[in-house]
């Protein structure tokens, strides 16, 4: 997946372009910048790549989630349903707005379980946030039905699924709002950066203002802008956008490599009798950022990971005991370790976590192995790697 594996001359040219004209900020300085608008150009490119009318670049993927929710009016006391398996950023972005993250089980897609989502809906629910984990997607049809019936927002965190599609539509473009990260380990990178995409004009205008102090961006006299509402600073810089501009042009090339390698892993490792592949909803195509499969149980998964380590196979994980990506180790959330006071509303809203068990999530995460697919490998290396992995698994299962 990592965009950082493949960058060089094109990225340098774009960055030098910015340094040569000296305007590092994305807004204003019209006279000085001699026609260089890297962030604007990148927004146009992303709009094409993700088939979405509007794109607002921001400073990170976490910022993208917060800005997306805020631009749709989600705030204090609102509940946002999200999965137990994701990156910690998901609940951070919700809590930053004073909203309440409601964690629910995943299923064999490794994303939101629609039944669990349905059961978690209360009068306070405002949005469902599906996190398209490890290059693939949740059951979008079922989730879309739920949001329609209950008049909720569907937000897609597609940070890990850049280039994945559902019914030929890019992931991120299916919900009301989509979020991307271009941090250093994502499929394409800006160094740090993110984007909100939407076809909703109003959400877009809100995101545009909110991510830049509430400035209305009317006219080209920066100091004269007014503030329709309060905002913060989640801007991206021209330097970061410049890197992204070079990277986005290479996205088709990156995706082709990822998908070719994913297929090899699926054919070799997926052929083993006790291995099942992660479920991809019908109509879905993975981005190929990761290869995911299931083993019979947690114990086998742990032995296989150990076997991989002993055999020098890196970049594969079982997330059951992972600090960053799975509910079991998120004690800072469960115990509400905050630097500053949190509202009683959020405290009460999170009490459910004290006794919550997520057996369905444990069942799937315990059996899952997730392997990063690197762009820098050769096809030969991938084939050898897949054979080695298959051997380790066969030995453990014997
Ligand atoms: C990386 C990631 C984020 C956060 O992105 P940053 O740019 O690092 O803030 C959010 N959600 C998911 C699923 C991610 O993988």
For 181, phi then psi, to 5°, come to -120, 140
Domains 3-250 and 252-397 share a fold: no
pLDDT digits (tens, 9 = 90+) for 243-301: 999 999 999 999 999 999 999 999 999 999 999 999 999 999 999 999 999 999 999 99
d(CA 293, CA 1): 17
For 329, phi then psi, to 5°, come to -105, 10
d(CA 112, CA 229): 33
Q: Give the pLDDT mean for 350-361.
A: 95
Enclosing H/E stretch for 130: strand 125-131
d(CA 247, CA 187): 9
d(CA 166, CA 184): 25
> Residues 300, 306, 307, 308: is their CA dihedral positive or negative?
positive
Q: Would you put residue 251 in left (φ > 0), alpha (ψ -120 to 50) or beta?
A: alpha
Percent of the chain with pLDDT over 70: 99
Band of residue 1 on the pLDDT scale cut at 50, 70, 90: low
pLDDT digits (tens, 9 = 90+) for 39-72: 999 999 999 999 999 999 999 999 999 999 999 9
* 153 Cα distance to chain centroid: 17
* pTM of this prediction exceeds 0.95: yes
Band of residue 394 on the pLDDT scale cut at 50, 70, 90: very high
pLDDT digits (tens, 9 = 90+) for 120-147: 999 999 999 999 999 999 999 999 999 9
- Mutation test residue for ligand 1: of 58, 59, 61, the one with most atoms within 8 Å of CB: 61
Structure token pair of residue 332: 């800072």
| Angle, in degrees to the nearest 10, between helices 9-21 and 238-248 | 150
For residue 119, the CA-to-ligand 1 centroid distance in Å is 26
Closest by alpha carbon to 230, among 62, 71, 89? 71
| pLDDT at 110 > cutoff 70 | yes
Active-site entry in 38, 126, 186, 374: 186
For residue 310, the CA-to-ligand 1 centroid distance in Å is 30
Closest by alpha carbon to 392, among 317, 318, 321, 313? 313
Q: Give the C-alpha distances (Å, rounded to integers) separating 393 from 122, 269, 384.
A: 44, 8, 14
Span of 2-11, 142-151, 319-328, 382-391 with lowest mean pLDDT: 2-11
Contact 28, 225 (CB under 8 A): no
Q: Would you put residue 100 in left (φ > 0), alpha (ψ -120 to 50) or beta?
A: beta
d(CA 32, CA 21): 7
For residue 266, the CA-to-ligand 1 centroid distance in Å is 26
Closest by alpha carbon to 72, among 233, 203, 211? 203
d(CA 43, CA 132): 21
DSSP label of 212:
B
Residues in contact with ligand 1 (CB, 6 Å cut-off):
60-62, 86-87, 89-90, 131, 157, 159-160, 181, 183, 194
Kindly give, in sequence order, each residue whose CB lies less than 8 Å from that of residue 31, ignoring residues fewer than 6 positions away. Answer: none
| pLDDT at 322 > cutoff 70 | yes
d(CA 62, CA 179): 9
For residue 327, the CA-to-ligand 1 centroid distance in Å is 16
Beta-strand relationship, 290-294 and 276-277: antiparallel
Q: According to the model, what pLDDT value does residue 228 have?
A: 96
Count CB neighbours of 108 within 10 A: 19
CATH number of 3-250: 3.40.640.10
Q: What number does the ligand 1 atom closest to the CA of 89 have?
A: 10
Biggest alpha carbon–alpha carbon distance for the chain:
73
For 116, phi then psi, to 5°, come to -65, -35
Band of residue 345 on the pLDDT scale cut at 50, 70, 90: very high
Q: What number does the ligand 1 atom closest to the CA of 62 have?
A: 9
Average pLDDT, the chain: 96
pLDDT digits (tens, 9 = 90+) for 222-254: 888 999 999 999 999 999 999 999 999 999 999
For 81, phi then psi, to 5°, come to -85, 130
Band of residue 220 on the pLDDT scale cut at 50, 70, 90: confident
* 371 Cα distance to chain centroid: 17
- Mutation test residue for ligand 1: of 65, 157, 324, the one with most atoms within 8 Å of CB: 157
Domain boundaries, the chain: 3-250, 252-397
Rounded to a whole number of angstroms, the distance between the first and last alpha carbons of the chain is 32
CA-atom Rg of the chain in angstroms: 21
d(CA 241, CA 44): 12
Q: Give the pLDDT mean for 7-20.
A: 93
d(CA 235, CA 216): 14
Structure token pair of residue 105: 């089980």
Q: Give the pLDDT mean for 172-196.
A: 97
Active site residue 169: no
For residue 186, the CA-to-ligand 1 centroid distance in Å is 8
Q: According to the model, what pLDDT value does residue 214 have?
A: 97
CATH class of the domain comprising 252-397: alpha beta
- Mutation test residue for ligand 1: of 1, 62, 134, 161, the one with most atoms within 8 Å of CB: 62
């Amino acid at each position: 997946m990592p965009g950082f594996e493949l960058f060089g001359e094109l990225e340098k040219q774009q960055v030098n372009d910015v340094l040569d004209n000296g305007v590092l900020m994305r807004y204003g300085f019209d006279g000085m910048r001699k026609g260089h608008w890297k962030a604007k150009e990148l927004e146009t490119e992303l709009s094409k790549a993700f088939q979405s009318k509007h794109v607002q670049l921001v400073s990170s993927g976490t910022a993208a989630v917060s800005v997306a929710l805020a631009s749709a009016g989600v705030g204090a006391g609102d509940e946002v349903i999200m999965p137990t398996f994701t990156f910690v950023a998901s609940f951070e972005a919700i809590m930053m707005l004073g909203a309440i993250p409601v964690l629910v089980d995943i299923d064999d897609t490794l994303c939101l379980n629609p039944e669990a989502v349905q059961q978690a809906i209360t009068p306070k629910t405002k949005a469902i946030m599906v996190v398209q984990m490890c290059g693939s997607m949740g059951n979008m049809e079922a989730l879309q039905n739920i949001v329609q019936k209950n008049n909720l927002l569907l937000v897609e965190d597609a940070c890990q699924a850049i280039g994945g599609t559902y019914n030929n539509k890019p992931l991120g473009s299916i919900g009301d709002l989509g979020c991307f990260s271009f941090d250093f380990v994502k499929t394409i990178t800006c160094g740090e950066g993110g984007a909100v995409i939407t076809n909703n004009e109003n959400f877009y205008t809100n995101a545009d203002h909110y991510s830049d102090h509430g400035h209305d961006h009317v006219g080209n006299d920066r100091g004269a802008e007014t503030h329709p509402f309060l905002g913060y600073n989640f801007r991206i810089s021209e330097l970061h956008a410049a890197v992204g501009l070079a990277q986005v042009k290479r996205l088709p090339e990156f995706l082709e490599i990822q998908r070719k390698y994913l297929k090899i892993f699926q054919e070799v490792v997926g052929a083993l009798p006790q291995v099942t592949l992660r479920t991809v909803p019908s109509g879905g195509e993975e981005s190929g950022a990761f290869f995911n499969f299931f083993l019979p149980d947690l114990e086998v998964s742990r032995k296989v990971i150990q076997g991989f380590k002993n055999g020098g196979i890196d970049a594969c994980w079982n997330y059951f005991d992972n600090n960053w990506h799975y509910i079991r180790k998120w004690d800072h959330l469960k115990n509400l370790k905050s630097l500053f006071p949190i509202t009683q509303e959020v405290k009460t809203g999170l009490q459910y976590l004290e006794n919550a068990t997520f057996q369905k999530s444990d069942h799937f995460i315990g059996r899952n192995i997730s392997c990063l697919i690197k762009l820098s490998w050769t096809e030969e290396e991938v084939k050898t790697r897949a054979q080695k992995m298959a051997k380790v698994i066969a030995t453990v299962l014997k």
